[in-house]
């Protein structure tokens, strides 16, 4: 099995946040300057496109946990109620 690179992982995460935004009628986007590489993949943070462009807090999302994409292409939604580092350790401990 071929492992993903960051570009392919970002494309998966971007498609997922677009799908989520379509579901609620708001355009979501990745905050690419906050993407984190971890040993087994990447953690992608997202928000509304309006917030990303303007940093206007009235346009920000609440309760949106980051998306983790593994090097093998599996996508996971991490919870917002737990720090992403803790949630990722719990996910990998399964």
Q: Is residue 83 part of a domain?
A: yes
- Cα 73 from Cα 4, distance rounded (Å): 6
What total number of domains does the chain contain? 1
Tell me, what's the pLDDT at 94?
64
Q: What is the mean pLDDT of the chain?
A: 95
- Cα 5 from Cα 42, distance rounded (Å): 9
- Cα 46 from Cα 20, distance rounded (Å): 11
**Are 90 and 21 contacting, i.e. CB atoms less than 8 angstroms apart?**
no
Model pTM?
A: 0.93
pLDDT 10s digits, 8-31: 999 999 999 999 999 999 999 999
Tell me, what's the pLDDT at 93?
83
DSSP conformational letter for 84: H
Q: Is residue 13 part of a domain?
A: yes
23: domain range? 6-92
Q: Is residue 1 part of a domain?
A: no
Percent of the chain residues topping a pLDDT of 90: 91
């Amino acid at each position: 099995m071929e492992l993903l690179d960051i570009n392919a992982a970002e494309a998966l995460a971007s498609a997922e946040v677009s799908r989520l935004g379509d579901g609620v009628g708001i355009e979501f986007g990745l905050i690419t300057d906050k993407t984190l590489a971890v040993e087994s993949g990447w953690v992608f943070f997202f928000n509304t496109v309006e917030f990303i462009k303007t940093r206007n807090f009235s346009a920000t999302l609440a309760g949106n946990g980051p998306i983790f994409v593994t090097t093998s292409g599996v996508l996971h939604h991490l919870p917002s109620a737990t720090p992403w580092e803790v949630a990722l350790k719990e996910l990998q401990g399964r």
